[in-house]
Structure 1
């Protein structure tokens, strides 16, 4: 069992959520163990369900000729992320973490192996950990898959499948675990007092930096920006599907934020998780309404895709600190996120940074905003330390991601050929289409 496992034993001692506190509250150690394990497992499968949300969102926002390809990318990146976290990522993030900038790179990475022997004896000892080892691994594993999913939407419609998966392997096995070790693994950011409850920076901004470097190195989709400076619209294939994906992500976020309480064995834990659910929901709602109002004011039309991203912007914005605000403040934090998305999506287009689904504004910019907003409601957080954490993660993930993308570009190539991009990644990479009756490569049926 990892020695630092997300600092849970220290956290339990400080917050009074460990076995000793359970006994004081009249809860047996075994009952506390069972309830906290259940929280991790339920939170984990809710976060895993977010993979379906990302798939539906991205499939709805890409063009018809690329839908099957983006579906394949999402199911394969999830699977690959899980494997990489098993064979290298988890122990890199949580075992033998040092205090320096290289936290996580201490000793040789090794295969994760759960050890529940202490609680399986005739005289179980629940002081070793307040939940089952496998529940912890599963919960941490699905977070790295979320980080990788952020990248796929930004670079959609022009990145090749297998070079993209190589990037995912590096991101899941090395980049994410190292920067995650700085905070959740007990590294130098944790020592400074950096506050990121569920991952506005560690997960979302990190995925946003990886996506931004990929978009810059890949370049925009052909025809997206004309030589005259015009922006050619490339509307998605299925807005109902994108909306469904948004709702799935919204539901999954209750596991993402709620289970990050890390314990569910006392009345205090139950109250905390309940408040986190409320704040998570209110932030998303604030993001939706703010995005609706902003698009109506700016464009005189309400843009559904922008409103969906407004919900996600609110969710990302509250993720760094869903445990401390009052619900009305959580709503306002999410509303600011919704406005950020509406203002920055066209800014990226003016800079000719082609982000197919708007993941950079949602996850990178709102992740930064949410992290910097924590001191507004948490007296233990420092704006200076929050800014230092944002900058450190940005520098590390940005540089390592750029190096990885460039190596792939110079060796195997990362971009579809011009003809393949024109015909669509479905035919070029898969040899099939998501909608064969309506696709570009087959004859349309006549009825």
Structure 2
């Protein structure tokens, strides 16, 4: 009982840290975009976490952990609506649920992850997507797509049943690339912001508060201690400590190498590239944080940092507009981190790498198809893009009737 209490307390602390990450996402997104859209971005972030938790309670948790039968294909299952009370007939807490934590803690920890996928999309579509279609997308993606996809591995589905099971410790693919694929589809269907590309040339649209974006990244880094540390699913001192070390080192390496490569290529010390390099390192290590040595973690983070620089450049060359770099960070580095499990660390092998490829491909197909169907239907039925006037004047005034900084409004047309 004492061990259960210790493990459960650690899991609850990690749950709080992952919750805190939503503040980090909000700060990062508003910092890297223009002030006239601040309220809009904050509204979306608050909507995602509140509605996401309710959806995960009502359907998501039991879609993600359906208890697949032995005869099941491991693709879809549903254990029923709502949460089941973990109280025994005698009125006591069911201690047999899990040796590491209680049923309630399990739900809340996993629920914090669920909302992250839609938050990734929020940053990519910032400054030009209508709020109502985004809200409908969030309901469907967080409520249905994410938990079904998650069940394939974390719920004991077909990817977990491979001869060499697909491995994703804390969600480089299950969380980050699930959001990243949807972000890519959304950006393609939305088109770039007005003024992003002129005469075939890329035009920088600076964010209005880089200090706030920096604070957001540091908050996310802190929250990742819960994101990865909690994914140990216990307070095991050795494994938890190693996971926090590999997480931290990968983040540091990602930032440093992103800064070095971007400086060599563009001859300027770009803070935003430095920041996204840190996030890229964090996303990259997430799939195998418990399996890596410190040296492995540095290598994975460093490569993720380099990937960030070239991914951002590629996205611009393809005339795609991602204001916060969400696709480069969460999709590109999510894929890299997932594949890295088969290259580095305790699980490195040809068989493991093939399983990782199968997992990446499975999620790519599922997320591309589902997100395209959802967003395209929204586009042809109600429209997903605001008018030119609304975009130029800002979504805060037109969609929310308020201003984030009423005493400091600038002409940002």
**TM-score, normalising length: structure 2:** 0.95
Judged with a 3 Å threshold, the aligned counterparts in structure 2 of structure 1 residues 107 and 47 are, in CA distance, closer, same or farther, namely closer
CA distance in 2, matches of 1:151, 1:118: 44
* CA drift at 1:109: 4.3
* CA drift at 1:402: 0.6
Which one of the candidate residues 35, 59, 63 is aligned to 2:34?
A: 63
Tell me if 1:416 matches 2:386: yes
CA distance in 2, matches of 1:89, 1:186: 15
> SS at the partner of 2:197?
coil
* CA drift at 1:257: 0.3
The CA RMSD over aligned residues, in Å, is 1.8
* CA drift at 1:120: 5.1
Tell me if 1:243 matches 2:214: yes
CA distance in 1, matches of 2:42, 2:201: 30
Q: What does residue 112 of structure 2 align with?
A: 142
> SS at the partner of 1:189?
coil
* CA drift at 1:441: 7.2
Judged with a 3 Å threshold, the aligned counterparts in structure 2 of structure 1 residues 437 and 354 are, in CA distance, closer, same or farther, namely same
CA distance in 2, matches of 1:89, 1:301: 45
CA distance in 1, matches of 2:380, 2:246: 45
Judged with a 3 Å threshold, the aligned counterparts in structure 2 of structure 1 residues 308 and 101 are, in CA distance, closer, same or farther, namely farther
- Flag structure 2 segments of 5+ consecutive residues without an equivalent: none
Which one of the candidate residues 166, 170, 173 is aligned to 1:194?
A: 166
* CA drift at 1:101: 9.4
* CA drift at 1:440: 4.7
Which one of the candidate residues 127, 131, 138 is aligned to 2:96?
A: 127
* CA drift at 1:290: 0.4
CA distance in 1, matches of 2:246, 2:105: 25
Q: What does residue 124 of structure 2 align with?
A: 154
Q: For 1:100-146, what per-residue CA distance to the aligned partner results, in whole angstroms no more than 9, with x for missing partners?
A: 9974633574112331337953xx76333222111000000000111
Q: What does residue 372 of structure 1 align with?
A: 339
| Structure 1 segment 224-235 matched on structure 2, within 5 A | 224-226=196-198, 228-235=199-206
Q: What does residue 33 of structure 1 align with?
A: 4
CA distance in 1, matches of 2:231, 2:390: 43
| Structure 1 segment 276-295 matched on structure 2, within 5 A | 276-295=243-262
CA distance in 2, matches of 1:325, 1:363: 20
Judged with a 3 Å threshold, the aligned counterparts in structure 2 of structure 1 residues 410 and 427 are, in CA distance, closer, same or farther, namely same
| Structure 1 segment 251-330 matched on structure 2, within 5 A | 251-264=222-235, 269-330=236-297
> SS at the partner of 2:341?
helix
Work out whether residues 154 and 160 of structure 2, in 8 Å CA contact, stay in contact via their aligned partners in 1: yes
Which one of the candidate residues 36, 44, 66 is aligned to 1:95?
A: 66
Farther-moved stretch of structure 1 (404-413 vs 234-243): 404-413
* CA drift at 1:98: 5.5
Q: For 1:329-388, what per-residue CA distance to the aligned partner results, in whole angstroms no more than 9, with x for missing partners?
A: 201111111111111102111101111100001000000000000122133661001000
CA distance in 1, matches of 2:301, 2:388: 40
Tell me if 1:390 matches 2:357: no
Q: What does residue 84 of structure 1 align with?
A: 55
Work out whether residues 62 and 79 of structure 2, in 8 Å CA contact, stay in contact via their aligned partners in 1: no
CA distance in 2, matches of 1:199, 1:394: 14
> SS at the partner of 1:302?
coil
Work out whether residues 99 and 188 of structure 1, in 8 Å CA contact, stay in contact via their aligned partners in 2: no
Judged with a 3 Å threshold, the aligned counterparts in structure 2 of structure 1 residues 433 and 441 are, in CA distance, closer, same or farther, namely farther
- Flag structure 1 segments of 5+ consecutive residues without an equivalent: 1-29, 443-447
Which one of the candidate residues 402, 407, 420 is aligned to 2:377?
A: 407
State which structure, 1 or 2, has the greater radius of gyration over its C-alpha atoms. Answer: 1
Judged with a 3 Å threshold, the aligned counterparts in structure 2 of structure 1 residues 110 and 223 are, in CA distance, closer, same or farther, namely same
Q: Number of paired residues?
A: 406
Tell me if 1:355 matches 2:322: yes
| Structure 1 segment 323-342 matched on structure 2, within 5 A | 323-342=290-309
CA distance in 1, matches of 2:176, 2:356: 15
Q: What does residue 15 of structure 1 align with?
A: none
* CA drift at 1:97: 3.0
Q: What does residue 203 of structure 1 align with?
A: 175
Q: What does residue 140 of structure 2 align with?
A: 170
